[in-house]
């Protein structure tokens, strides 16, 4: 294929974390999608599709091909030497969510084989996929709706891979820590708009909540300290050739304080870096 480089998305993750949803989202975006391709066929398949004129392809790799998954690091290294736009996306979720999804659908886990329980299979798969996860852009789908996941996948493939992407994500501690975070900042120590009945149904993107938080000196101090920390250490990630850094900001419910600070951090760094802003928890009017 001549002209623009072929874009190749390698999609993997834990069984039950939403790979089928993500692959369908990529298909809707015009990607030629292949699911459950054995790892040794990666380079050959990519080259053949490039010759046949497929500019964007997405390949699902998971534990259904567990006999060849251990070969992934070597075959991935070979792909990085090709003149392609190569992206890795890894979907994960917490154990409780994965176990619940398998129980509700009554599907068998691909590693169960009639010998392992679902929790044992989930633990084993997480260990087996560890080498893939640290190379990839990770999305924790534990508390995401299918629409949210599709939206985050669309954002991922639209990124400029030549730049480090800084992801700011708000969340609520009562719903659990995000698995995809590189840094976690706890803002539960700051004044909480939740206790004002007028502000309670709003979010940190609404002006009355913004006004409330900006009147509080501690909020500004906290924001300044986080900005200073990130300004100091992000250049080290650049030198380490990292593609993505996820900064999670958490308050109790993920609705007011974390959303406000996430928005402010995103606006600040968007002036100089490639930024994604995400709010994990669902809001009635988001």
> How do residues 159-196 score in pLDDT, each as one tens digit?
998 889 999 999 999 999 999 999 999 999 999 999 99
- Does a structural domain hold residue 284? no
* pTM of the shown model: 0.84
**Residues 79 and 1 sit within 8 Å (Cβ to Cβ):** no
Give the model's confidence band at 74: pLDDT under 50 very low, under 70 low, under 90 confident, else very high: confident
- Residues 241, 270, single domain; the answer is yes
Question: What is the tally of structural domains in the chain?
Answer: 2
Average pLDDT in the chain: 91
- Residues 86, 181, single domain; the answer is no
Residue 99 to residue 3: CA distance in whole angstroms: 45
- Residues 114, 148, single domain; the answer is yes
Choose one of 140, 158, 176: the last residue of a domain. Answer: 158
Predicted confidence (pLDDT) at residue 274 exceeds the cutoff of 90: yes
CATH number at residue 113: 3.40.50.300
Choose one of 158, 182, 202: the last residue of a domain. Answer: 158
- Does a structural domain hold residue 220? yes
Choose one of 158, 180, 212: the last residue of a domain. Answer: 158
| Alpha-carbon distances of 139 from 93, 119, 152, 219, rounded to whole Å | 8, 21, 8, 28
Q: What is the mean pLDDT of residues 48-71?
A: 84
Structural domain harbouring 141: 7-158
- Residues 12, 121, single domain; the answer is yes
- Residues 147, 196, single domain; the answer is no
């Amino acid at each position: 294929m001549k002209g623009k480089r072929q874009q190749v998305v390698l999609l993997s993750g834990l069984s039950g974390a939403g790979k089928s949803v993500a692959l369908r989202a990529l298909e809707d975006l015009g990607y030629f999608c292949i699911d459950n391709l054995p790892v040794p066929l990666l380079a050959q398949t990519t080259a053949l599709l490039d010759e046949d004129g497929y500019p964007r392809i997405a390949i699902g790799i998971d534990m259904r091909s567990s006999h060849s998954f251990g070969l992934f690091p070597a075959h991935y290294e070979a792909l990085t030497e090709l003149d392609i736009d190569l992206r890795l996306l890894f979907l994960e979720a917490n154990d409780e969510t994965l176990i619940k999804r398998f129980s509700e659908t009554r599907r068998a886990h691909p590693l169960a084989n009639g010998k392992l329980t679902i929790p044992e299979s989930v633990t084993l798969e997480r260990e087996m996929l560890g080498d893939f996860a640290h190379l990839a852009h990770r999305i924790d789908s534990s508390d995401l709706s299918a629409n949210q996941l599709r939206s985050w996948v669309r954002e991922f493939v639209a990124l400029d891979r030549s730049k480090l992407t800084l992801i700011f994500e708000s969340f609520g501690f009562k719903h659990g820590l995000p698995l995809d975070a590189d840094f976690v900042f706890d803002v539960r120590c700051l004044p909480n708009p939740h206790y004002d009945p007028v502000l309670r149904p709003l979010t940190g993107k609404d002006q009355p909540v913004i006004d409330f938080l900006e009147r509080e000196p501690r909020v500004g101090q906290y924001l300044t300290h986080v900005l200073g920390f990130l300004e100091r250490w992000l250049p080290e990630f650049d030198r380490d050739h990292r593609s993505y850094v996820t900064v999670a900001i958490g308050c109790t419910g993920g609705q007011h304080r974390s959303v406000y600070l996430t928005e402010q951090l995103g606006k600040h760094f968007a002036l100089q870096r490639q930024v994604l802003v995400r709010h994990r928890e669902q809001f009635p009017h988001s």
